[in-house]
Amino acid sequence: MATKKKAAGRGRKNAFYAQSGGVTAVINASACGVIEACRKAREIGKVYAGRNGIIGALTEDLIDTSKESAAAISALRHTPGGAFGSCRYKLKSLEENRAQYERLIEVFEAHNIGYFFYNGGGDSADTCLKVAQLSEKMGYPIQAIHVPKTVDNDLPITDNCPGFGSVAKYIAVSTREATLDVASMAKTSTKVFVLEVMGRHAGWIAAAGGLASGPDLELPIVILFPEVRFDQDKFLAKVDAMVKAHGYCTVVVSEGLRWPDGRFVSDQGMRDAFGHAQLGGAAPVIANMVREGLGLKYHWAVADYLQRAARHIASATDVEQAYAVGQAAVEMALQGRNAVMPAIERRSDKPYRWRIVEAPLAQVANREKMMPRRFISRDGFGITPSCRAYLEPLIQGEAYPPYRNGMPRYVRLKNVAVPKKLAPFELAL
Amino acid sequence: MATKKKAAGRGRKNAFYAQSGGVTAVINASACGVIEACRKAREIGKVYAGRNGIIGALTEDLIDTSKESAAAISALRHTPGGAFGSCRYKLKSLEENRAQYERLIEVFEAHNIGYFFYNGGGDSADTCLKVAQLSEKMGYPIQAIHVPKTVDNDLPITDNCPGFGSVAKYIAVSTREATLDVASMAKTSTKVFVLEVMGRHAGWIAAAGGLASGPDLELPIVILFPEVRFDQDKFLAKVDAMVKAHGYCTVVVSEGLRWPDGRFVSDQGMRDAFGHAQLGGAAPVIANMVREGLGLKYHWAVADYLQRAARHIASATDVEQAYAVGQAAVEMALQGRNAVMPAIERRSDKPYRWRIVEAPLAQVANREKMMPRRFISRDGFGITPSCRAYLEPLIQGEAYPPYRNGMPRYVRLKNVAVPKKLAPFELAL
């Protein structure tokens, strides 16, 4: 629960900021929002970034962001990836591993840290919530604010998650482009193009493929959502009908697509020539199905990291929101809040209006928001008008990075380490 | 051989234009160049586009481009894919299938076609050269001009091929972005990112991955070229060294990578749970090798059509050149040329200067230009400074398409059919 408490303690406290989980095209825009807001706040000293998320806090591996120029921090706004390194690491509960919490207090005290900003998705919200407990359960005055980020768009309460809009734009644009390609080839060659997209549990990213087709350019797109039980016969009949009607189609398949028995479609028990298990993707499996079931020539692609790193085609709306949640997190800290997260509230679809509100972290951590059924068309292979109305504002605007010599000018920070004051802490990774 | 002959015949002749082979992000820019130049030329009547390449000519399936507005034709400049449909279809020799050539003459005569513009790669140049023979061997006055296009960049004589610069930019930018992503994840998760790119025979596209790293942002990139005999042990040692030095690396692998015995690495004799052969990509095979050989966590992507359709990140230089070869083809036709191709000649690297010259088609068709060995680093896993000097100018400049509602405004032409005048022609596809 959110608690109101004045930022207190030995004068100006420093802030800790770190990035956690899979990175995005705009997580650094949130970092930029946090750091620029902290630099303006008289109540806050330096911002120490954790190298590789919470691991940096536990191992006292802190980066002094005050060593970076204003221009370098500003360039974070257009630089993809995680500038300070991320991690996949969950804190155990206070009961299970009290030593870790004591260590955090030790590090925070040593570096006079009173603000904790953690930038991540659902798992990271759990970490942030646990750190927030230091304040109530262990008496160390900290304000832990979670900065939302996830391409999966599956955090509850917030209308959407920073990071998602840019992936959605990338997938919508790429699907439109590749579909124009297969349309050209269909007469004598490829008739079905299969694109695999991220989203292990929720189909938000797959849904974005539906935006490839719109009133200005209608294209035959079939979407395979992880929320919809995969029915191979129905799927092949759908592709067959699409190809008969249009001559070609594109299939956007979520990596999280499952068979009715729960197995991932991507996990086909593949073996190479030596009998070794081979981890395939869902796309080649679906493509092969199209060939074997319908005798159609196919091509397939797996976007993987390309989609979530594609800062070159980021959504301007997403960049703006990513920055805004970073800034809002600092404002909440200055208002004495703890265990909260800035969430995006949608005021209207058209024109798109939104604002930042405060969400209690206890209601965010470890909960996943699936696609509502009303966003998926009746046959299960497309998006509905209400889904389109939800998605469209999130991909609005282009926020191109600057280029030099034909390449985007992404910044690499100096990442100067803060001198350690404590004995090393052993951490099993 | 190029022949000089005046555009002759019954008054103003019409032009035929068609697209052939794999399409690109800028093949429509060449179409735009051809059509706009023809519209300006008083000597040329209408431009009839072949629906699906040469097949449109054989089946008298012609599109009347005069039905398209100037705005629609202009929008081709920023629209990926092949606006008139492409094909993979090779004409047999005159000796083998005289009937096809007689049919072409029949169609060309019926529609008063005196100019033949064929937009494609090496195979298509062969088709264009064969059509050029109608003039000398069968007495039908036609001027056949080849408009170069191929993402593979493997046409001889021309310094580079329209279509390549944009794929190169896409791969360079995407590799830079995904490498920043894996750099962030490497501490606790993915350490090696594998990206599969096109190029069945030549490693030009794979080489573009090398541009991801530059003096402004050095990144650990390992490239697997089809020109270099794959040595698994040496490769794993290279990746191991990269990961030890940097903590992570990206591997850019060409789809055309082969084992020393000539088999494609992508063809691993994969079988699914039912024993069916499964066509995999090179990326999952390489990724699996990294896991089994080095125990490193990986992610992999296969860009496939996304790379050659990615008009959203096209190279401005490429768009300009694609348009220019279309325009130059028309100029050559007006000068009475036959069996030629506008080629790009590089005058200097820095500043980049180029001009269009004329290449005899007989020296272009069916020849592939491989990467020269001096473009590949001594260890076989990277590009040399001279390769960089060659590639860099080709990705210069951004030529963003216009957007509406967050999506690129790609045009779909009306493609109105020209009324048929002849009996149907049977074509085995």
Nearest to A302 by CA among A324, A287, A323, A321: A287
Chain A CB contacts of B279 under 8 Å are 284, 287-288
The nearest alpha carbon in chain B to A317 belongs to B406
A150 is in an annotated binding site: yes
Residue A10 has pLDDT above 70, yes or no: no
- pLDDT confidence tier of residue B97, bands split at 50, 70 and 90: very high
User: Would you say B376 and B368 are in contact if contact means Cβ atoms under 8 Å apart?
Assistant: no
Q: Is A247 on the interface with B (CB under 8 A)?
A: no
Q: Look over chain A and give the mean of its residue pLDDT values, rounded to a whole number.
A: 94
Chain B CB contacts of A172 under 8 Å are 406-407
The strands making up A13-19's β-sheet, listed across from edge to edge, are A62-64, A44-50, A13-19, A113-120, A143-148, A340-348, A353-360
Nearest to A302 by CA among B282, B216, B43, B410: B282
Q: Indicate left, alpha or beta for B336 from its phi (over 0: left) and psi (-120 to 50: alpha).
A: left
SS3 track for B104-124: HHHHHHHCCEEEEEEEECHHH
Mutant choice from A272, A274, A296, A307 vs B, greatest count of B C-beta within 10 A: A272
How many angstroms away from the CA of B87 is the closest CA of chain A? 6
Task: Provide the percentage of residues in chain B whose pLDDT is more than 70.
Answer: 95
Q: What mean pLDDT do residues A97-117 have?
A: 97
Q: Is A259 on the interface with B (CB under 8 A)?
A: no
- Alpha-carbon span A112 to B255, nearest angstrom: 53
- Alpha-carbon span A12 to A42, nearest angstrom: 8
Per-residue pLDDT tens digits for B144-189: 999 999 999 999 999 999 999 999 999 999 999 999 999 999 999 9
Minimum mean pLDDT among A67-71, A319-323, B91-95, B414-418: which range? B91-95
pLDDT of residue B428: 81
pLDDT of residue A270: 58
> Which of A25, A52, A300 has the CB atom closest to B304's CB atom?
A300
List A152, A154, A159, A318, catalytic entry: A152
- Alpha-carbon span B225 to B381, nearest angstrom: 8
Q: Known catalytic residues of B?
A: 152
CB contact under 8 A, B87 and A187: yes
pLDDT of residue B82: 98
Q: What mean pLDDT do residues A50-74 have?
A: 98
Residue B68 has pLDDT above 50, yes or no: yes
- Alpha-carbon span B328 to B78, nearest angstrom: 19
CB contact under 8 A, A177 and B279: no
Chain A CB contacts of B169 under 8 Å are 406
A255 is in an annotated binding site: yes
User: Would you say A299 and B166 are in contact if contact means Cβ atoms under 8 Å apart?
Assistant: no
A152 tagged catalytic: yes
Residue A151 has pLDDT above 90, yes or no: yes
CB contact under 8 A, A81 and B268: no
Instruction: Report residue B211 as tokens.
Output: 């541009």
User: Would you say B400 and A398 are in contact if contact means Cβ atoms under 8 Å apart?
Assistant: yes
Instruction: Report residue B418 as tokens.
Output: 């020209």
**Residue B170 CA neighbour count, 13 Å, CB half:** 34
**Does the predicted interface ipTM exceed a cut of 0.90?**
yes
Fold classification of A3-150+314-366+400-408 is: Rossmann fold (3.40.50)
pLDDT of residue B272: 53
Chain B CB contacts of A22 under 8 Å are 185
Q: Which residues have a Cβ under 8 Å from the Cβ of B64 and sit 6 or more positions away? A: B46, B48, B416, B417, B418
pLDDT of residue B366: 83
Residue B5 has pLDDT above 50, yes or no: no
Q: Is B425 on the interface with A (CB under 8 A)?
A: no
pLDDT of residue B2: 39
Minimum mean pLDDT among A357-361, A379-383, B87-91: which range? B87-91
User: Would you say B370 and B44 are in contact if contact means Cβ atoms under 8 Å apart?
Assistant: no
Instruction: Report residue B272 as tokens.
Output: 């699914």
Q: Can you tell me whether residue B178 is helix, strand or coil?
A: helix
CB contact under 8 A, A409 and B216: yes
pLDDT of residue A1: 38
CATH 3.30.1330.80 matches A164-309: no
Cα angle: A81, vertex A82, A83; to 5 degrees: 110
pLDDT of residue A136: 86
Chain A CB contacts of B429 under 8 Å are 187-188
- Alpha-carbon span B275 to A91, nearest angstrom: 43
pLDDT of residue B3: 40
Residue B274 has pLDDT above 60, yes or no: no
Chain B CB contacts of A189 under 8 Å are 87-88
Task: Output DSSP code: residue B339.
Answer: S
How many angstroms away from the CA of A193 is the closest CA of chain B? 8
Q: Can you tell me whether residue A90 is helix, strand or coil?
A: coil
pLDDT of residue A367: 86
The nearest alpha carbon in chain A to B280 belongs to A284
- pLDDT confidence tier of residue B398, bands split at 50, 70 and 90: very high
- pLDDT confidence tier of residue B345, bands split at 50, 70 and 90: very high
Q: Is B58 on the interface with A (CB under 8 A)?
A: no
A200 is in an annotated binding site: yes
User: Would you say A149 and A117 are in contact if contact means Cβ atoms under 8 Å apart?
Assistant: no
pLDDT of residue B4: 38
Q: How many CB atoms lie within 10 A of CB A5?
A: 15
Q: What mean pLDDT do residues A263-284 have?
A: 70
- Alpha-carbon span B175 to B206, nearest angstrom: 10
Nearest to B21 by CA among B408, B424, B365: B365
Task: Provide the percentage of residues in chain A whose pLDDT is more than 90.
Answer: 90
Same fold yes or no, B3-150+313-367+399-408 and B164-309: yes
CB contact under 8 A, A302 and B306: no
Q: Can you tell me whether residue B162 is helix, strand or coil?
A: coil
Highest mean pLDDT among A365-369, B264-268, B343-347: B343-347
CB contact under 8 A, A180 and B79: yes
Pairing of strands B3-4, B337-338: antiparallel
Residue A71 has pLDDT above 90, yes or no: yes
Q: Is B180 on the interface with A (CB under 8 A)?
A: yes
How many angstroms away from the CA of B20 is the closest CA of chain A? 9
Fold classification of B3-150+313-367+399-408 is: Rossmann fold (3.40.50)
Q: Is B360 on the interface with A (CB under 8 A)?
A: no
Per-residue pLDDT tens digits for A22-34: 999 999 999 999 9
What are the boundaries of each domain within chain A? 3-150+314-366+400-408, 164-309
- pLDDT confidence tier of residue A222, bands split at 50, 70 and 90: very high
Looking at beta carbons, which pairs linking B129-133 to residues 24 or more positions away fall under 8 Å? B129/B339, B129/B361, B129/B362, B129/B364, B129/B365, B130/B91, B130/B93, B130/B94, B130/B101, B131/B54, B131/B91, B131/B104, B132/B338, B132/B339, B132/B361, B133/B94, B133/B101
